[in-house]
Amino acid sequence: MKSVYYYLSVLIIFLSACHTNKSELETIKVAQFGDVFIYIPLYLANTKGFFKEEGLKVDLINTGGDDKTYAAVIGGSALFGIADPTFVAIAKEQGIDGCVIGSIVNSVPFWALTKNPNVPQITNAAMLAPYSVATFSAPSTAYTVQTEMFKEANLPTNIRQGAFGTLLPMLDTGNADIALELEPNVSIAVANGAKVVYSFADKYPDFTFTGITTSKKTIDEKPEIVQHFINAITKAEKFAHEYPDSAAYYMAELYPDVNKNIIAQAIKRMVDSNTLPQNAVISPEAWKQAVALRHRMGDLKSLDNIESVLDMNFAEKAR
């Protein structure tokens, strides 16, 4: 007859195995446009360990496009997508159902830079009359909001289009007077002598620029994972606002080629402008502004029932 010690040993091994299984992280795939600095909540949730706290291990997939990111979500190759969330509303008009469940970037995070000492602070659109502006290529949000700014003053659309990494050099060569840029390029340029002359974060303070998308199938079949993911993102957003210097420390690990002071300045600018949101909840006004812009662009046929793709239940719980 086997001793009681034998059975106790078996029981301990069994319980240890159960504990190990419970503590294993759930690996999920998250699609994103690319490695973009302004996706701070996503990267901070990873490097600071908030995903791990929520039992998740995140594998990032770079798609190279907002539409491709949402396609990855709907196609099932990614559980969540980080990109322009208005593509969910656009897809819904084509009979494709999905959901927007949280915010990563709030407001329009473009700052207008110049190295031309003759360019003043631009306080109204009419002051742009003598100047050209470099933006990312159409139909980017940067191109669209800048086009609208010219139209506000009945000015010709004097825009120089370019890809990532080409806009600031246009200032050096004189091909553009002003360039719209994202962080950390804004803070890098300012450190090198450029100045900010206007901000679309001021013009559109409540605007859903980058969101978290997922499929209805994921919400129905894996609500716990959805909640854990949103919890981690919310923790990261709160952490960045409460401890911006610490957030800069963790982001510097991901961007070793960028001066730590520059990263700190970039995060401060995003926190101060609320471009980096305080939590993942998307306000009705922020969503209305984003889809209205797409409607004016002609990408959305109608603004009817645009709220139907929003599901803020998980973000509200995490708040």
For the stretch 72-120, pLDDT in tens is 999 999 999 999 999 999 999 999 999 999 999 999 999 999 999 999 9
Domain ranges for the chain, please list them.
25-106+205-316, 109-201
C-alpha R_g of the chain: 22
**DSSP class per residue in 233-268:** HHHHHHHHHH-HHHHHHHHHHH-TTS-HHHHHHHHH
Same fold, 25-106+205-316 and 109-201: yes
pLDDT tens column, 241-272: 999 999 999 999 999 999 999 999 999 999 99
Query: d(Cα 282, Cα 104) in Å, to the nearest integer?
Result: 9
Given this model, what pLDDT does residue 17 score? 44
Residue with tokens 């006004």: 285
Helix (H, G, I), strand (E, B) or coil at 211: strand
Query: d(Cα 119, Cα 174) in Å, to the nearest integer?
Result: 13
Q: Which fold has domain 25-106+205-316?
A: D-Maltodextrin-Binding Protein; domain 2 (3.40.190)
Given this model, what pLDDT does residue 202 score? 94
Q: What is the rounded average pLDDT of the residues 60-66?
A: 92
Given this model, what pLDDT does residue 189 score? 97
Q: What is the rounded average pLDDT of the residues 51-65?
A: 96
pLDDT tens column, 156-200: 999 999 998 999 999 999 999 999 999 999 999 999 999 999 999
Given this model, what pLDDT does residue 140 score? 86
Displacement of CA 252 from its chain's centroid (Å): 18
pLDDT category at 6 given cuts 50, 70, 90 is very low
Q: What is the rounded average pLDDT of the residues 296-317?
A: 93
DSSP percent split of the chain into helix, strand, coil, nearest 5:
50, 15, 35
Given this model, what pLDDT does residue 205 score? 94
Q: Could you say which of 3.40.190.10, 3.90.870.10, 3.30.460.80, 3.30.559.10 is the CATH number of the domain covering 109-201?
A: 3.40.190.10
pTM of the entire structure?
0.89
Could you give the percent of the chain with pLDDT greater than 70?
Answer: 93
Query: d(Cα 303, Cα 285) in Å, to the nearest integer?
Result: 13
pLDDT tens column, 120-163: 999 999 999 999 999 999 888 899 899 999 999 999 999 999 99
Complete edge-to-edge strand list for the sheet that includes strand 195-199 = 159-162, 133-136, 178-181, 111-114, 195-199
Q: Are 282 and 100 in contact (CB under 8 A)?
A: yes
Helix (H, G, I), strand (E, B) or coil at 89: helix
Given this model, what pLDDT does residue 23 score? 63
Query: d(Cα 257, Cα 193) in Å, to the nearest integer?
Result: 19
| pLDDT at 7 > cutoff 60 | no
Identify whether 130 is preceded by a cis peptide bond (ω within 30 of 0).
no
Q: Are 289 and 208 in contact (CB under 8 A)?
A: yes
- For residue 99, what is the enclosing H or E element? strand 99-106
Reference 268, options 183, 191, 194, 207; nearest CA is 183
